[in-house]
Amino acid sequence: MIFDTPQQNSVVERRNRTLLDMVMSMMAHANLPVSFWEDALLTATYVLNRMPNKSVPATPYVLWYGRKASMDHLHPLVSTGYIHNLTHQHEKLGARATKMVLIRYVEHSKGYVMYRGLPNGGMVEVNSHNVNFL
């Protein structure tokens, strides 16, 4: 059965509004450009699935995986962190870490997707679980 009116899908519409509010808040707080809306949405969904709500006794994560989610790895969006650089170029004097910012979480592990802008206007995304946050 397909419903064409939002009034018939009130729970879904409310969840969508909650996600939109979270995305707008995170992006405004982090001063992210609109091009990062998808990363903010994935982060909001990641966090929301680990939070309890009034409608069910368990979190969505517990209902899906059957175990409690760990919350100790959560950090605010665009938190600055350093990723260990395994290929430092100048041996002892070379940079041993790269400064990057958190843009989203890896879905099925306690990892992070980190972002660094390049001088030429490009960007680099790195998936890592070994990040030291400030």
Q: What is the pLDDT along the chain (134 residues), one digit of tens a residue?
A: 555 665 667 777 888 898 999 999 988 888 888 888 998 999 998 888 888 877 778 888 888 888 888 888 888 888 888 888 766 666 677 677 888 888 888 877 778 888 887 666 667 778 887 888 88
Between CA 104 and CA 75 the distance in angstroms is: 10
Q: What pLDDT, on the 0 to 100 scale, is given for residue 3? A: 56
Domain boundaries, the chain: 6-133
Instruction: Give the global pTM.
Output: 0.74
| Residue 58: partners with Cβ closer than 8 Å, 6 or more residues away | 52
Q: What pLDDT, on the 0 to 100 scale, is given for residue 41? A: 92
Number of Cβ within a 10 Å radius of residue 112: 25
**H or E element at residue 42:** helix 37-48
Q: What pLDDT, on the 0 to 100 scale, is given for residue 134? A: 82
Q: What pLDDT, on the 0 to 100 scale, is given for residue 119? A: 66
Helix 37-48 with 10-30: angle, nearest 10 deg: 120
